[in-house]
Structure 1
Amino acid sequence: MEDVTGAQLIAEALKAQNVEYMFGIVGVPVIEVAMAAQASGINPGACLVVSGPGLIHALGGMANANMNCWPVIVIGGSSDQNQETTGAFQEFPQVEACRLYSKFSARSSSLDMISSVVEKAARTSMYGRPGAVYVDISGDMVNTKLDRSRAREVPCSPPHPVSMADHMAITEALAVLKGAKQPLLIIGKVYVKVNVKVDLCAEEMGNNVQPAAALLWDIITIVKLLLEYVHKDGWRYPADTEWWTTLKEKMVAMTKVTKALALQSTTPMNYYQVFHHISQLLPHDCVIVSEGANTMDIGRTMLNNYLPRHRQGMPPHTEIKGQIRQVSCAFALKTSRNELGSVDSSA
Structure 2
Amino acid sequence: MAGQQVDGNNLAAAAFAKAGIDHMFGVVGIPVTSFANSAVKAGIRFIACHNEQSAGYAASAYGYLTGKPGILLTVSGPGCVHGLAGLSNAMINTWPMVMVSGSCDQADFGKGDFQELDQLNAVQPFVKFSGKAAKASQIPFLVSQALNVAAQGRPGGCYIDLPADVLHEYIDKLEADRLLAEVCPFQPIWALPKLAAAEFYAPEQDIQTAVSMLRQAQRPLIVVGKGAAYARAEAPLGDLVRLTGIPFLPTPMGKGLLSDTHELSATAARSLAIGQCDVALVVGARLNWMLHFGENPRWAADVKFILVDVSKDEIELRKPTLGLVGDARLVLQQINRDIKDEPFCLGRNHPWVERIVNKASENVKKMSAFLAKDVVPFNFQTPMRIIRDALLAQGSPAPVVVSEGANTMDVGRSVLVQTEPRTRLDAGTWGTMGVGLGYCIAAAMAYPERLIVAVEGDSGFGFSGLEVETLVRYKLPVVVIIFNNGGVYGGDRRNAEDIEGPYKDDPAPTSFVPGAAYHTVMEAFGGKGYLVGTPHELQSALDEAFTKRNPAVINVTIDPYAGAESGRMQHKN
TM-score, structure 1 length as denominator?
A: 0.93
C-alpha distance after superposition, 1:200-258 (max 9, x if no partner): 111111424x3222100100111122222223433222221222122222222212221
The reply to whether residue 125 of structure 1 matches residue 222 of structure 2 is no
Deviates more, 1:2-11 or 1:304-313: 304-313
SS at match of 2:201: coil
Q: Distance in 2 between matches of 1:237 and 1:326?
A: 43
Q: Which residue, out of 114, 137, 140, partners 1:112?
A: 137
Name the aligned partner's letter for residue 111 of structure 2: T
Q: Which residue, out of 204, 227, 230, partners 2:314?
A: 204
Cross-structure match for 1:175: 212
Q: Distance in 2 between matches of 1:240 and 1:260?
A: 27
Q: Which residue, out of 36, 48, 66, partners 1:34?
A: 36
Are the structure 2 counterparts of residues 76 and 202 from structure 1 closer, same or farther at C-alpha, using a change threshold of 3 Å?
same
Name the aligned partner's letter for residue 88 of structure 1: D
Q: Distance in 2 between matches of 1:31 and 1:18?
A: 21
Q: Which residue, out of 49, 53, 59, partners 2:84?
A: 59
Name the aligned partner's letter for residue 226 of structure 1: I
Name the aligned partner's letter for residue 184 of structure 1: L
Contact 2:18 2:183 in 1 (8 A): yes
The reply to whether residue 312 of structure 1 matches residue 425 of structure 2 is yes
Spell out the pairing of 1:91-110 with structure 2 (5 A cutoff).
91-110=116-135
Q: Distance in 2 between matches of 1:313 and 1:168?
A: 37
SS at match of 1:289: strand
Q: Distance in 1 between matches of 2:430 and 2:22?
A: 27
Q: Which residue, out of 382, 385, 397, partners 1:273?
A: 382
Instruction: After TM superposition, give the deviation of residue 309 of structure 1 in Å.
Output: 2.1
Percent of aligned pairs with the same amino acid: 28
Cross-structure match for 1:147: 172
* TM-align CA RMSD: 1.9
Spell out the pairing of 1:205-224 with structure 2 (5 A cutoff).
205-208=315-318, 210-224=319-333
Cross-structure match for 2:20: 18
Cross-structure match for 1:165: 202
Name the aligned partner's letter for residue 315 of structure 1: G
Cross-structure match for 1:189: 286
Contact 1:74 1:135 in 2 (8 A): yes
SS at match of 1:23: strand
Q: Which residue, out of 451, 460, 483, partners 1:338?
A: 451
Instruction: After TM superposition, give the deviation of residue 158 of structure 1 in Å.
Output: 6.2
Instruction: After TM superposition, give the deviation of residue 184 of structure 1 in Å.
Output: 2.1
Deviates more, 1:48-57 or 1:177-186: 177-186
Q: Distance in 2 between matches of 1:325 and 1:185?
A: 32
Count residues in correspondence.
Answer: 345
Instruction: After TM superposition, give the deviation of residue 136 of structure 1 in Å.
Output: 0.7
Contact 2:105 2:163 in 1 (8 A): yes
Unaligned runs of 5+ in 2: 48-70, 190-196, 226-284, 288-292, 296-303, 458-487, 490-565, 567-573
Name the aligned partner's letter for residue 223 of structure 1: L
The reply to whether residue 80 of structure 1 matches residue 105 of structure 2 is yes
Cross-structure match for 1:291: 404
Q: Distance in 1 between matches of 2:388 and 2:406?
A: 19
Contact 2:147 2:186 in 1 (8 A): no
Unaligned runs of 5+ in 1: none
Instruction: After TM superposition, give the deviation of residue 305 of structure 1 in Å.
Output: 1.7
Q: Distance in 2 between matches of 1:256 and 1:127?
A: 44
Contact 1:176 1:195 in 2 (8 A): no
Q: Distance in 2 between matches of 1:173 and 1:118?
A: 39
Deviation >4 Å, runs of 4+: 157-161
TM-score, structure 2 length as denominator?
A: 0.58
Cross-structure match for 2:96: 71
Q: Which residue, out of 4, 13, 25, partners 2:6?
A: 4
Contact 1:286 1:305 in 2 (8 A): no
Contact 2:141 2:183 in 1 (8 A): no
Name the aligned partner's letter for residue 89 of structure 2: N
Instruction: After TM superposition, give the deviation of residue 296 of structure 1 in Å.
Output: 4.2
Instruction: After TM superposition, give the deviation of residue 293 of structure 1 in Å.
Output: 4.7
Q: Distance in 2 between matches of 1:294 and 1:231?
A: 44
Q: Distance in 1 between matches of 2:37 and 2:456?
A: 35
Contact 1:258 1:272 in 2 (8 A): no
Q: Distance in 1 between matches of 2:222 and 2:410?
A: 17
Cross-structure match for 2:355: 246
Cross-structure match for 2:530: none
Instruction: After TM superposition, give the deviation of residue 43 of structure 1 in Å.
Output: 0.8
Deviates more, 1:328-337 or 1:60-69: 328-337
Are the structure 2 counterparts of residues 292 and 236 from structure 1 closer, same or farther at C-alpha, using a change threshold of 3 Å?
farther
